[in-house]
Amino acid sequence: MTWASGYHSSHSRRIKSSKSRFVRRAVTVTERRTKKDFAAQMKALCDEWYPDAEVVRVVLDNLNTHTVGALYEAFAPAEARRLASKLEFHYTPKHASWLNMAELELAVLARQCLGRRIPDAGTLAAEVEAWEDARNRDRVKINWCFKVADARKKMHRTYPKQTPAAVH
């Protein structure tokens, strides 16, 4: 869930509807990746995309802006507490951002849309919006082929060895 060069196509969110298996992409372009930018994205998740949800589960990489503290830096304490109580953060392993589907989407965005010099933030925002609209219109899905056993093999230093009792 991170974010192009010069200006950042920032804070990509994959939003899964509870009514279907479709995942909607939402990308916001900002000048930097600040805690306030992150907090604004989390507020949008809670208030615009999932206002009726009791809990919003968010998968994040370990960028230093991706913390509950960012909410308290951006909002009054009561608002930060309200958002924090609704959000449940799950972090990808530190050396495995390739496991994060948002990172995979950003790699596709970079290849399909950002592989050239983009002169200004307005052009970047328009290009990213067109890409996002096309991906959402076509309901593009990620074909996730990586299995837990493959992850354990590749990340053997990170994942503990499973005992027979722990295997279900």
- Element at 39 (helix H, strand E): helix 35-44
Angle at 55 between CA 85 and CA 58, to 5 degrees: 95
Handedness of CA 109, 113, 118, 120 (dihedral sign): negative
Per residue in 38-67, pLDDT tens? 999 999 999 998 999 999 988 887 888 999
Q: Is the pLDDT of residue 158 over 70?
A: no
Note whether 3 and 11 are within 8 A (CB): yes
Say what the pLDDT of residue 62 is. Answer: 80
In a domain, 129, yes or no: yes
Per residue in 60-84, pLDDT tens? 878 889 999 999 999 999 999 999 9
Which residue range is the domain that position 87 belongs to? 8-166
- Token pair for residue 83? 């958002």
In a domain, 158, yes or no: yes
Note whether 45 and 71 are within 8 A (CB): no
More confident residue, 95 or 112: 112
In a domain, 3, yes or no: no
32 vs 9: CA distance, rounded Å: 9
In a domain, 133, yes or no: yes
What is the number of structural domains in the chain? 1
